[in-house]
Amino acid sequence: MLIHTNMNIVEISLDLGYTDNSYFSRIFKKAAGVTALQFRENYRRKRREDD
């Protein structure tokens, strides 16, 4: 969802069933090593560089 939509992080966390956005953010960062927003920005930056 982060890379395929323009939904904000709160909307994504709610859509995934998380009622606590802070919890979603913490577990995402723990799993991915970066925040959800950083993940999205890094993906988009890399994609532009590859084009």
pLDDT tens per residue across span 1-30: 999 999 999 999 999 999 999 999 999 999
Question: What is the pLDDT averaged over residues 21-47?
Answer: 95
- pLDDT for residue 8: 94
pTM for this one?
0.84
> Would you place residue 51 in the very low, low, confident or very high pLDDT band (cuts 50, 70, 90)?
confident
Measured CA to CA, the distance from residue 16 to residue 31 in angstroms comes to: 16
Measured CA to CA, the distance from residue 29 to residue 36 in angstroms comes to: 7
Measured CA to CA, the distance from residue 11 to residue 27 in angstroms comes to: 16
